[in-house]
A and B are shown apart, each in its own frame.
Chain A
């Protein structure tokens, strides 16, 4: 059987690897971006000089041939679902038996005047990175539109080269549609602390042309004009499915798939950022453009392609990121505005760069979610607590199990228990210190 995967990102590559583990099918991965799989999440580190492009490749180049995964550098122009063939930009057409679409995302553009000028880029592809590199020389100021995870990465990148940077954020505090207020303010403070010009409650109105098709300034909704030599568009991403639209494939925002990641057309699957789950499990969204879900979908689809039916079940939500120097981790349910049934305990370090938040159910006391800034918690432990509907007091007393900070780091579990005791008038005490053997025993329970 001949399987073709469009896209060599994390989801497409994970699918290929697992299909190879499970079968002897012929596998071809097509991508127009780079010859080899690299870690998109590491793009910023190349620009900042922490790593070279080579270092962002999770597998050595010989890996693919050894595992008989054929790589092809080309753009897929269209798919003939009837004839089961792909047409490539070089005119070639390729037949397939099963097709996996893993084309990822593209940066959002909201119809701003000047959005297609030169020196205006998103930060998604390797080519975006090359453009940033190209225009960084002698750059006097960069303006970044949108304050999500990618926006702050882009700001950090320019900042590392001492290029003055302005970020325009529509909200009144950084990423406060996702982060609870305190954490959002912490990050806002941190961005400013680094000397980055963070403009809250501010939006882009238009991008100006220098007369040669290059951007040279922006005007904001407030009317202010800022001269700049580069405009970064980081106001979110959308599924990269343009070339498949208006055909037989069912597409809403993304390619619609069922719980087995099958599209409406037999033998065609979609995974990763470009897929839209038609009935997501409770607490999850239809499109989740993150690394981890791409990886899980890649693995799940491999089983389904190899005729072992498996449902896609992403389980309990988790994510992590880094806001310049502040690491961020979340497990479970931590909405920006706490729901009615929720209670929350929050502790913040006096240095303003670390905090712990635990959400739990008002009535039953079961723990619902963890939000960490500048502190590391164990994924497996938090997940088990949430899955087992563990009572928050039980969790608090055994917080040592979750701590994943390096050795000798100060632990702040006590402070959190204090906050809880103060809020409830109870007298809880810590019972378990951190230690791997205890953790593993707990996980086996």
Chain B
């Protein structure tokens, strides 16, 4: 590390510390005008409950106590409404404008906290935005700067000496995985209002997959050795992972605790859409800034590699313009929020009734959105994958891929390359695809027939709630990103993304894309496998001159970049593809002589 690195890192760490502390720096005073409620009936109930509890006008400097009090008061309002409902809901009032759901209570707490913030942060939003997120980005950029001055070439020195990047031992990894899964299931029990059904079904399926992988004859002797760090755990990486996991938990399920952060991006949100910021706007802002800063890092690191540079610029562009800016502009124009590059089934709520209704309510523009979304999924995916492989989406366009390729690049070597991991991968990712398709079919059934239950027992509403909870938030967010420093940067893309599964099936069976190997030049060094974020054992193929056709390959091109012997090339061309990718192929110079004997 030279002096510029140190300065940059120092600024970044200071900004991150302030950012984290800022969650406790605000103070709050609830006034009548802050009281939420989507209907008059709710508003009245909340007002009464708030007044009775005595929180109005009281000063809080601690958001934990404040949120607890608010929750108590609003729960009381919920109870009152529930009591009143027993006497019958007044005429002309929609049931859910009268009764208060748990979700309502949660969002009311959130908006009350946000609106009543009245302290250091809430009164200096822009200043704190620049002191935390702004300085953090600046620190990151300064840290990256010196890389531009180095001689172009592969820059992987000391990855496995770094406490941030070296990963964990199998045991510690197993602990995190098990704890996360159990935590999700237990919380899911409460999240779905105390239903055991879904957590139990999920547990059974997890058990089944483990049985399918581990229960096979001889599997015991297939103990992976390449999966994780041999004996040392990089604790800075673990701490980073925990930080990210906690961030996602608060973001998804307890945003009321991060109102200070959301307040900081209010000015930006006002400038873009004209609205107050939500936690999703905060998330989008952070996401975009991270992709830009870490994208610049990627470009510096691969200055010699035009494929990497173009690809990185592409993900930076799609995130900034398509995922972040355009949807906000649409909202400003009173159009539905829409991310033009998000494709079903990754965009699992595309066929949800409220979304379809929203689009249909928007005239020809809405119809265009609907047709666009369907065409992307049914036409663009297979056609583009046929010509270019799934990389056109996964490592050039997609937002999850964009984050993985930029912020996640320092962790790419942590993907598990064992054969066993590959077995898990195939069951899990295709399982998620099946889940997504079934869930969507049920939702559509409900949309067209108006019936909530299918076959009398399958409730499409609870299926989609569980999908959103387990896959949409738990898998894609908490495991997907929180596990970057624990299991590599493509954990979601490799094990969980239903769109990746779909693209992968097309890539495996009907695509021109493959990685070709350069004759006999491979020295089996293992750089390609080590730095494959999808955990493909590239060397396995390269060392015998076999072309690589794998459903999971996202075409990031890093194997080709890090290969010290110029063995790998990403190519589109389908001649002889099955012959050259076949297992028995072994190209070597004495082939003719050997062949004569067959």
Contacts and interface: CB of A to CB of B under 8 A. Distances in A.
Interface of A: 10, 39, 41-42, 45, 48-58, 60-62, 65-66, 160, 193-194, 291-292, 295-296, 299-300, 303, 308, 310-316, 318, 320-322, 324-325, 327, 329, 376, 378-380, 383, 404-410, 435-437, 440-441, 444
The 6 tightest CB contacts between A and B, nearest first, are A379-B519, A325-B153, A436-B573, A315-B589, A376-B566, A42-B525
Contacts of A66: 218, 221
B327 to A, nearest CB: 30
B527 to A, nearest CB: 6
Contacts of B587: 380
Contacts of B222: 60, 62
B545 to A, nearest CB: 9
A5 B262 CA distance: 67
B516 A62 contact: no
Contact of B307 (A65, A383, A408): A408
A440 B569 CA distance: 14
B383 to A, nearest CB: 19
A440 B575 contact: yes
B540 to A, nearest CB: 8
Contacts of A322: 564-565
Given A66-B221, A295-B588, A327-B565, A379 B521 contact: yes
B298 to A, nearest CB: 15
A55 B226 contact: yes
A258 B565 CA distance: 31
Interface stretch (B35-43, B159-167, B445-453): B159-167
B223 A61 contact: yes
A36 B419 CA distance: 18
B94 interface: no
A203 to B, nearest CB: 29
Among B158, B221, B306, B589, chain A packs the most CB atoms within 10 A around the CB of B589
A311 B593 contact: yes
A52 B229 contact: yes
B588 A60 contact: no
B561 interface: yes
B221 A49 contact: no
Contact of B230 (A52, A327, A378, A380): A52
A383 B569 CA distance: 18
Contact of A61 (B158, B160, B218, B225): B225
A57 to B, nearest CB: 7
B518 A50 contact: no
B90 interface: no
Contacts of A379: 518-521
Contacts of B594: 299-300, 303, 310
A42 B519 CA distance: 19
A291 B519 contact: no
A376 B593 CA distance: 28
Contacts of B573: 435-437, 440
Contacts of A10: 524
Contacts of A318: 519-521
A228 to B, nearest CB: 22
Nearest to B223: A62
Contacts of B218: 66
A355 to B, nearest CB: 14
B75 interface: no
A372 B572 CA distance: 24
Contact of A296 (B152, B569, B590, B597): B590
B518 A42 contact: no
A409 B306 CA distance: 6
Among A62, A310, A314, A316, chain B packs the most CB atoms within 10 A around the CB of A62
A55 B526 contact: yes
23 contacts: A39-B524, A41-B525, A42-B524, A49-B158, A51-B413, A52-B160, A54-B225, A57-B225, A58-B524, A62-B222, A66-B221, A193-B151, A292-B520, A295-B588, A299-B590, A311-B593, A322-B565, A329-B565, A379-B521, A404-B518, A407-B570, A408-B306, A440-B575
B418 interface: yes
B226 A49 contact: no
B569 A404 contact: yes
Contact of B221 (A51, A57, A62, A299): A62
Given A41-B525, A308-B597, 5 more contacts: A49-B160, A52-B160, A408-B306, A436-B571, A436-B575
Contacts of A296: 588-590
Given A310-B593, A404-B569, A440-B576, A320 B159 contact: no
Interface string B558-581: 001110111001111111100010
B529 interface: yes
B229 A50 contact: no
B157 to A, nearest CB: 5
Given A380-B519, A406-B569, A316 B156 contact: no
Contacts of A58: 524, 526, 539-540, 543
Interface string B529-550: 1100000000110010000000
Among B218, B413, B564, B597, chain A packs the most CB atoms within 10 A around the CB of B564
Contact of B523 (A51, A60, A291): A291
A48 B566 CA distance: 20
A14 to B, nearest CB: 10
A33 B265 CA distance: 59
Contacts of B523: 39, 41-42, 291, 320
B310 interface: yes
B160 A51 contact: yes
Contacts of A440: 573, 575-576, 580
Contacts of A376: 518, 566, 569
A329 B521 contact: yes
B196 interface: no
B305 interface: yes
B321 interface: no
Contacts of A437: 573-575
Interface in B149-208: 151-154, 156-162
Nearest to B588: A296
B158 A404 contact: no
Nearest to A291: B523
Among B156, B576, B594, chain A packs the most CB atoms within 10 A around the CB of B594
A322 to B, nearest CB: 4
A406 B306 contact: yes
B575 A441 contact: yes
A150 to B, nearest CB: 13
A55 B225 CA distance: 9
B570 A406 contact: yes
A405 B571 CA distance: 11
A439 to B, nearest CB: 8
Given A45-B525, A55-B530, A299-B590, A50 B221 contact: no
Contacts of B223: 61-62
Among A58, A66, A322, A409, chain B packs the most CB atoms within 10 A around the CB of A58
Interface in B81-101: none
Contact of A406 (B153, B162, B224, B560): B560
Contacts of A53: 230
Nearest to B310: A408
A295 B591 CA distance: 12
Contacts of A409: 306-307
A423 B161 CA distance: 51
B519 A316 contact: no
Contacts of B161: 49
B226 A60 contact: yes
Contacts of B413: 51
A155 B597 CA distance: 46
Contacts of B560: 406
Contacts of A194: 151
B526 A316 contact: no
A303 B572 CA distance: 36
A435 B574 CA distance: 11
A310 B564 CA distance: 32
B159 A55 contact: no
Contacts of B574: 437
